[in-house]
Each structure stands twice: as C-alpha cells, then as structure tokens.
Amino acid sequence: MIRIFFITTAVAALLVSCQKPSSASNPNPDELLVENFGKIQDGRDAHLYTLTNANGMVARITDFGATLVSLTAPDKEGQLSDITLGYDSVTGYDSDENPYFGCSVGRYGNRIAHGKFSLDGKDYQLATNNDPGGIPCHLHGGDRGFGRRLWTLEEHTPSSLTLKYVSADGEEGYPGTLTAKVVYRLTDDNELIWEATATTDAPTIVNLVHHTYWNLSADPVTSINDHRLTLNADHYLPTNAGLIPTGERAPVAGTPMDFTEPTPIGQRVEADFEALKLGLGYDHCWVLNEAADGELGLAARLEDPKTGRVMELLTNQPAIQFYGGNFLDGTITGKNGTVYEHRAAVCLETESFPDAPNQEGFPSPVLRPGETYRHVMVHRFSAKP
C-alpha cells in the first residue's frame, strides 16, 4: 500500500528545484510527497503533491483546480528546469487575476455564446464572465468553474494521482450532478498524461480542458515567439468579434494559421489577417486531422530551438485551442516574483469545439446518464541537440 509522505514547504521546494536526475528527489520512493499549499478563500487547506519518474522529472499538482503547478523537463544538456507558468502558493491560483494557470477547466472549457444553450427542449443561462469585442460569453465554466474548486485526492502512487470533484446540479447554471475525475501520470518515458473522465445523473454538456501555460525555454521572462509549433490540422474555426466560432471550418493553407509544418510562433503573428486581429494574435481553435474517432492521435509539436526541448501532444479529442499568451501584459507576478510579460507562454488545449452546444454542425458535447466522458492528453517530452 502506498502511503502519503508529508514534507515541509521549504524542503519540497529544494527537492523540486534539483536540476539533475537523482533518486534523492524523493527520499521515500514508495510514498507520495505532500505539502501544504496554503488556504483558499473559504479557509480550507490546499495541498501540493509531488510526482517523480526514474529520469528525475518532477511534476507538482495541487488539489485546488486539479492544477499542474510545475513540471521539470530536461534540455539538450540534460538540465531539468520548470517549464510552466504559475504561482508559488494557492493564494495566487485562488485570485481573480489568475488566467487559468495549469488548471483543469470545466464544466465547459472555452466559450459559449451569451452563456446560453438549449438541451432537450429546455433553455439554460450560464454566467457571462468574459466579453471579448464587447460581446458577452461564458468562459471556462463560469464565475467559479472547476479550476477554482477544491478537489479530493482519491488514489495515488509515487508517479500518479487521481483527483475527484462532484459538481452539483445547478452549479454555475449547468444541469445534472456531474462526477469528474482527473488522473495525472508521470511515466518513465518522460510523458505527463492528463486524463479526465466524467459521469452524470441527468443530461448535461461537458468539455473538460487542461490549461497549462508552457515556456520550453524555462525562462519565462522571454517570449515564446521563437518556439517552433506544428499543428496536425488543415482547418481552423473562424470566429466573430466575440471569439465565438461562426460555424465555418476554414482551410489554413496560404494563411498565417498554417502550422502544418514547423513554424516560429512569432513569424506571422502580426500579419494583416482578420483572425489575428480579432484574437490580438493566436487564440483560436484548430480542427485536428486525427483523434476525431476517439483514439489517440498527434495534435501538436512544440520545440524551443535554444534549449532543444520538445513537447509532443497526443489526444483523443477533435480540436485544439492554441493561445499565444496575448493577454499576458506584465500585470501578473508569478513564481519567484517573476513578472509575466506579453506572450511569455503558450497554451495548447485539446478539447471539443467552442460553442458546440449552439452549433449543429459541431461534435456534440452532450453527456447522458450511463455514458462516460473521457479526455486524454499525452505530453511527451524529449530534447534534440
């Protein structure tokens, strides 16, 4: 039986900061390392769990928002460094300024037009907590979505853990009691696997999304514009001024939206192209060429040419939202007092289509009793000389 091993915050921080693979990153390899991560606004304690693999990689996850707080990955010299943005304690994550750093978003990730949808002949009104272009929409689950909820640790090993959250019928306006689980696994193949499942007692809509901000250089004061991105997608979803899909699936060929070959993110981000103007850069959904049948397919490949770090992303979902950190503006202070400037990170969020509840031509996001929703993301890390 695997036991939970509690350590102090100072010792945990020291262990996680180790830059070379070492079994000393976990003094008790058969136990899960846990530390207190501070109190959330209602006074309850949040916890930080540390996962390790045989190669010295370390992933830290908090039960607040089922959030990935940090992940170390090796560069071409074998140096391990944290490649995510975030905060030093739960206080930052439980604040209004938090732009969904690392969290598990739900009940419905991305946008729903005007916060409205109909299901089985009944109309529902959700919070309109976002208004790009002056057009209100429901974003990432509402005023206090799954990324701002305290989850329960259900199962664990030194390299994996399962977190559970039960969303009551009517929470944030959604119908049905939804039982969601998120599993994090850190494998010896240098893969971080995020897997979300959900069941419901009444028809509802579901789109659980993982929202980590990546900077493979491990230097978050630098832009990700020089990162080379490949998206396995021949089409994207054009949007209106409110960043809601119009229903069209447009070809990427001959446009700045074409990442079918490795391309620096910043190469065309300022191009005179309507989609980029509406999103103030890249903040759009691409339709994946693979994974539409529910099996794992390659979605994206991200590479930092300086450090050699590579992240490949596989998923069973039909789409991926590529967000280039356009709204990071130097007003957020994150880990170790770092100020996160414009385009300091990139988000690659596999998902169902935005506004799918209102678009007949999109894959259905409806989950009914007796069915199980399942979303898998495999983040595969390597380094090239």
pLDDT tens digit sequence for 360-377: 999 999 999 999 999 999
Is the separation of the CB atoms in 153 and 163 below 8 Å?
A: yes
Where does residue 68 rank: exposed (0-12), middle (13-18), buried (19+ CB within 10 A)?
buried
- Whether residue 292 has pLDDT greater than 90: no
Residue 291's pLDDT is: 66
For the segment 65-93, the average pLDDT, to the nearest whole number, is 98
What's the rounded Cα separation, in Å, for the pair 242 and 111? 9
Is the separation of the CB atoms in 128 and 115 below 8 Å?
A: yes
Question: What does the pLDDT look like over 200-253, one tens digit per residue?
Answer: 999 999 999 999 999 999 999 999 999 999 999 999 999 999 999 999 999 999
- Whether residue 11 has pLDDT greater than 70: no
Where does residue 153 rank: exposed (0-12), middle (13-18), buried (19+ CB within 10 A)?
middle
For the segment 109-120, the average pLDDT, to the nearest whole number, is 98
Residue 324's pLDDT is: 97
Is the separation of the CB atoms in 277 and 268 below 8 Å?
A: no
Where does residue 43 rank: exposed (0-12), middle (13-18), buried (19+ CB within 10 A)?
exposed
Specify the domain boundaries for CATH 2.70.98.10 within the chain: 3-104+147-166+181-198, 214-363+375-383
Is the separation of the CB atoms in 25 and 54 below 8 Å?
A: no
- Residues annotated as part of the active site: 211, 349
- Whether residue 16 has pLDDT greater than 70: no
Q: Is the peptide bond before 107 cis (omega within 30 degrees of 0)?
A: yes
- Whether residue 29 has pLDDT greater than 60: no
For the segment 314-332, the average pLDDT, to the nearest whole number, is 96
Nearest Cα neighbor of 174 from 213, 116, 131 is 116
What one-character DSSP code corresponds to residue 56?
S
Nearest Cα neighbor of 163 from 185, 183, 186 is 183
Report long-range pairs for 324-330 (Cβ below 8 Å, ≥24 apart).
Answer: 324/224, 324/265, 324/269, 324/281, 324/282, 324/283, 325/213, 325/224, 326/279, 326/280, 326/281, 326/282, 326/283, 327/99, 327/280, 328/99
What's the rounded Cα separation, in Å, for the pair 380 and 16? 20
> In the CATH hierarchy, which fold is given to the domain comprising 3-104+147-166+181-198?
Beta-galactosidase; Chain A, domain 5 (2.70.98)
- Whether residue 176 has pLDDT greater than 60: yes
For the segment 86-109, the average pLDDT, to the nearest whole number, is 97
- Whether residue 184 has pLDDT greater than 50: yes
In whole numbers, what is the pLDDT of the chain averaged over residues? 92
What's the rounded Cα separation, in Å, for the pair 68 and 216? 15
For the segment 344-372, the average pLDDT, to the nearest whole number, is 97
- Element (DSSP H or E) covering residue 279: helix 274-279
Q: How confident is the model at residue 25 (pLDDT cuts 50, 70, 90)?
A: very low
Domain 214-363+375-383 in CATH 3.40.190.170? The answer is: no
For the segment 286-294, the average pLDDT, to the nearest whole number, is 81
What's the rounded Cα separation, in Å, for the pair 41 and 39? 7
Q: Which residues, in sequence order, are bridge partners of residue 35?
A: 48
Q: How confident is the model at residue 158 (pLDDT cuts 50, 70, 90)?
A: confident
Residue 333's pLDDT is: 96
Residue 28's pLDDT is: 58
For the segment 70-77, the average pLDDT, to the nearest whole number, is 98
Per DSSP bridges, beta strands 122-125 and 116-119 are antiparallel
Q: In which residue are the tokens 């957020």 written?
A: 332
Residue 83's pLDDT is: 98
Residues of the chain with pLDDT > 90: what percent?
Answer: 89
- Whether residue 338 has pLDDT greater than 60: yes
Length of the chain: 385
Q: How confident is the model at residue 22 (pLDDT cuts 50, 70, 90)?
A: very low
Q: How confident is the model at residue 293 (pLDDT cuts 50, 70, 90)?
A: low
For the segment 72-84, the average pLDDT, to the nearest whole number, is 98
